[in-house]
Amino acid sequence: MIEFHNVTKRYESGFQALSNVSLQLNDGQMAFITGHSGAGKSTLLKIIAMIEKPTRGQALLNRINLNNLSRQRIPFLRRNIGIIFQDHQLPFDRPVFENVALPLQIQGYRPQEIAKRTRAALDKVGLLQKEKSLPITLSGGEQQRVGIARAVVHKPMLLLADEPTGNLDPMLSREIMQIFIDFNQVGVTVLVASHDLRLIEELDKPRLTLNAGKLILNDLDQYDSGDQYGSS
């Protein structure tokens, strides 16, 4: 699913956020990215989400090289990914239902199908009764769950989450992580960046640890590869 070959990312400021990172995440695997603040976790996810491009090395998503993508192809590739970013809020002037339905509308689903899938996704995060509310009237945790519903409503192959439990209480954090694990169990590849070491420890999933842009720990191959068919 995801392959990094000696990926280095240097921002325009000259700051090197990733240095020679190589990794391979197979279809159906789930992993956590950890590391100190500024270690490069978000940067790594942004490269996969085609928000940033590697300065050197190669990043591949489903064997497609992300280094030299044309602008027109990016939207279609992004439709295979569900992205949950802590700091990317929801459009506040649309009700929850509209927010979650957006990916389906973009992809041209039939209205009845949109309604069905949107309700299913909202049900999954336990917000079905809030479908008509505006996001601004929801709590932080509820907003985060709306974001998750929107990221999974179109059944993406890959789920990326950057600090999804950033400012949530431990109970809610555990619930949210459980949602990710549930998705992973039905075959979705999941990559989560998180500070929450205690929670990660509990969950027993492979870890990628970054330190000042270097990948210092990668125990992906010590876990089940997650891919029954052999990977790319």
Ligand X SMILES: Nc1ncnc2c1ncn2[C@@H]1O[C@H](COP(=O)(O)OP(=O)(O)OP(=O)(O)O)[C@@H](O)[C@H]1O
CB-CB neighbours of 220 under 10 Å: 17
Q: Is 130 in the site for another protein (CB under 8 A)?
A: no
Site string for ligand X, 22-41 (x = CB under 6 A): -------------x-xxxxx
Half-sphere exposure of 90 (CA within 13 A, CB side): 31
- Shortest Cβ distance from residue 71 to another protein (Å)? 8
3-state secondary structure 176-201: HHHHHHHHHHCCCEEEEECCCHHHHH
Contact 189, 159 (CB under 8 A): yes
Q: Is 197 in the site for ligand X (CB under 6 A)?
A: no
Contact 66, 46 (CB under 8 A): no
Q: Is 43 in the site for ligand X (CB under 6 A)?
A: yes
Q: Is 97 in the site for another protein (CB under 8 A)?
A: no
Binding test (CB under 8 A) with another protein, winner from 13, 70, 88, 171: 88
Strands 214-218 and 16-25, by their bridges, are unpaired
Q: Residue 160 or 196: which CB sits closer to another protein? A: 160
Chain contacts with ligand X (rule: CB under 6 A): 11, 13, 15, 17, 35, 37-43
Interacting residues with Mg ion (CB under 5 A) = 42
